[in-house]
Structure 1
Amino acid sequence: MVLFRRILGEVLRTARMQRGLTLREVSADARVSLGYISEIERGQKEASSELLASLCSALDLPLSDVLREVSDAVAVEELAQGLRRVESVEATPISSARTSAGDVVASAA
């Protein structure tokens, strides 16, 4: 099973370390406890959208970049675990809608 919180933590820790920042510095700037950030980086706690935005701001990193990197890492893990097929298709805009049963239906335009 691919855990989003574990991969998110790895991405955040890598970004922090690449910037040469300590947990204490990020904690002060993001106004989030050092222990909580540490738990997020270790994949033990889920980050709310507000907390994630605050961490991204403290790291001077666009939220979209973090989410893109997490998404790419999730896809790689899914491939490694055989949860996803590799298909070569042209990039096509996709729209999705929920059915009354809650299933997501996607269609290419």
Structure 2
Amino acid sequence: MVLLRRVIGDALRARRQGQHRTLREVSTAANVSLGYLSEIERGQKEASSELLTSICDALGARLSEVLREVSDTMAVAEQVEGVLTPLPRGDQKVEVGHRPRTEVATDGQVSVTVRRDNPLRTTLRTTRNMRPGNAGNARGREVVGV
């Protein structure tokens, strides 16, 4: 299952790295601890709307821009059957000899490649086509869903 907090963190990290800025620079500008910002970028913590706004301001981006990017990624990911379906509760058995299954979906602006490594691990790789003024969004990014 792909978690929203991981896609948000991925979008924030991509913007920061596209600006060639360190976690320390952005955490200082956003007035958030470096460790907490790192956890947000890795999708381990869910940030409040106030904190997301502060981080976006520090990155020189509007919250609506980041959320639109996240929304576009999630919309394309929804086209891949089962990618947003939660894993069943209880013990999961990883099949021995299970081969990764890869699926691709695109809407012309965002391409999402989903690789299901095993029942407990799915990798979502997003690639955003360049738009004028969004040169930092051209690189592919990976979000691992567990």
TM-score range, shorter chain: 0.7 to 0.9
Q: CA deviation at 1:65?
A: 0.5
User: Of the two, which has the highest radius of gyration?
Assistant: 1
Paired position in structure 1 for 2:51: 51
**TM-score, with length taken from structure 2:** 0.55
Sequence identity, in percent?
A: 63
Within 2, Cα distance between the matches of 1:50 and 1:43? 17
**Structure 2 unpaired stretches of 5+:** 85-146
Contact 1:2 1:78 (C-alpha < 8 Å) held by counterparts: no
Within 1, Cα distance between the matches of 2:60 and 2:45? 22
Paired position in structure 2 for 1:21: 21
Paired position in structure 1 for 2:40: 40
What amino acid does structure 1 have at the position aligned with 2:20? Answer: G
**Structure 1 unpaired stretches of 5+:** 85-109
Deviating beyond 3 angstroms after TM superposition, the runs of 4 or more aligned structure 1 residues are none
Paired position in structure 2 for 1:97: none
**TM-score, with length taken from structure 1:** 0.73
Which has the larger share of strand? 2
Within 2, Cα distance between the matches of 1:15 and 1:83? 24
Paired position in structure 2 for 1:67: 67
Within 1, Cα distance between the matches of 2:81 and 2:30? 35
Paired position in structure 2 for 1:80: 80
Cα root mean square deviation, aligned: 1.5
Which has the larger share of helix? 1
Aligned pairs, how many? Answer: 84
Q: CA deviation at 1:76?
A: 1.4
